[in-house]
Homo-oligomer: A and B are copies of this chain.
Amino acid sequence: MNLEFSEEARAIGDQARRFLEKRDCRERARAALSGEAEPDVELWREMVAFGWIGSFIPEEYGGNGAGYEALCVIAEEIGRSLAPVPFASNILAGEIILRSGTQEQKSYWLPKIASGEMIGTLALHEAPGRISADAITLRYENGRLTGRKCPVPDGAQADFAVVVARDPDGSIVPVLAFFDETVTRTRQPTIDDSRAQAELHFDGTPGERLGSGGSGAWAELVAALDRAAVILAFEEVGGAQACLDLAVEYAKTRHAFGRPIGANQAIKHKLANVYVAVELARSNAMMGALGLLSEQGDLAVAAATARVSAIQAFIMASSESIQTHGGIGFTWEADTNLFYRRANALALGLGTESYWKERLVSGLEQRHLA
């Protein structure tokens, strides 16, 4: 039994943690939140330079081949640090290009992501509601995109996107497009402005169909979301752990009624429950990582399990961390405020809990049919 990351991966995690601590990411996130700064592209480039983001990209496409274990521990550290960087957007764009792109497309786009030369994103959402193919209306016709996407993660800063569109036959088609002057981009205020979202209007934007075509484009997209979900689960686990750590530290040092508030069972049991949720989420995420590593087809159930568990844990940990802090916890300047926003934003950004629960159960159904 060896359900633990390799020593190499853990060393990368330690390095990432030390680096991110030095960069004082929570202050950067707070600044971004107050509109004083855009997502921290400079910090992102520094991180890319370590090779961290390219770890899931094979060496032939400019990655360092460190693999998914490394990516998972880095995601956890990003979650813990609250770094306001275009992480999820690059992972999403990279994953779908890696899985669905032609040899040529992979050779062209992936090195740009791995080197930080360009920021990529996935332009998927249009109307509110659960992710589904039916919701896609943006047109792709004669090599050009027309329509609206909102919200697009890091949409105002990104250089290009995989745009999920519909061709004249009504088929779903992912399209690679640079953000040129035909794209009108408006940053949108959100519940977590430390991670930017934008509304994008495409007005005849030139784009190239991702991959070699065929009817499986939506299924491939969904499979790429599965893979990204495991990474995101680690980011959430990192955030949840940070919330627990903050709350425990505060509970040990804040006094009321002549003793640390952490001596009260109301606080002790609350934080024990958070601990349980975080450990289950971490454990489920590790099973997801195992799925990623094994490169088996049937990742859906493990990914969905990891993601649901991580959403629940981070939401709970961030809420209860505020509650443990009392009044100070829900002020604008409290770190707990930043984590609560991030927890809720991550829970909404890449398929919600409902989406992933449905994915989990239908994944089990397909297993039973098979």
Contact = CB atoms under 8 A, between A and B. Distances in A.
Contacts of A264: 265
Interface size class of A (residues with CB under 8 A): under 10
A369 interface: no
A266 B263 CA distance: 12
A255 interface: no
A269 interface: yes
A159 B265 CA distance: 55
Nearest to A265: B265
Contacts of A269: 265-266
A258 to B, nearest CB: 16
A276 to B, nearest CB: 15
Interface string A258-282: 0000001110010000000000000
Contacts of A266: 265-266, 269
Interface in A319-342: none
Interface in A182-230: none
A267 to B, nearest CB: 9
Contacts of A265: 264-266, 269
Nearest to A267: B265
A265 B264 CA distance: 7
A266 B272 CA distance: 12
A69 B36 CA distance: 64
A28 to B, nearest CB: 38
A249 B269 CA distance: 23
A117 to B, nearest CB: 55
A323 to B, nearest CB: 13
Nearest to A264: B265
Interface string A233-272: 0000000000000000000000000000000111001000
A16 B269 CA distance: 42
Interface string A276-300: 0000000000000000000000000
A269 B265 CA distance: 9
A269 B264 CA distance: 11
A266 B266 CA distance: 6
A269 B267 CA distance: 11
A184 B269 CA distance: 54
Interface string A35-79: 000000000000000000000000000000000000000000000
A51 B356 CA distance: 58
A264 B269 CA distance: 11
A264 B263 CA distance: 11
A269 to B, nearest CB: 6
A284 to B, nearest CB: 27
A269 B269 CA distance: 11
A324 to B, nearest CB: 14
A6 to B, nearest CB: 41
Interface of A: 264-266, 269
Q: Which 3 A-B pairs have the closest CB atoms?
A: A265-B265, A265-B266, A264-B265
6 contacts: A264-B265, A265-B265, A265-B266, A265-B269, A266-B266, A266-B269
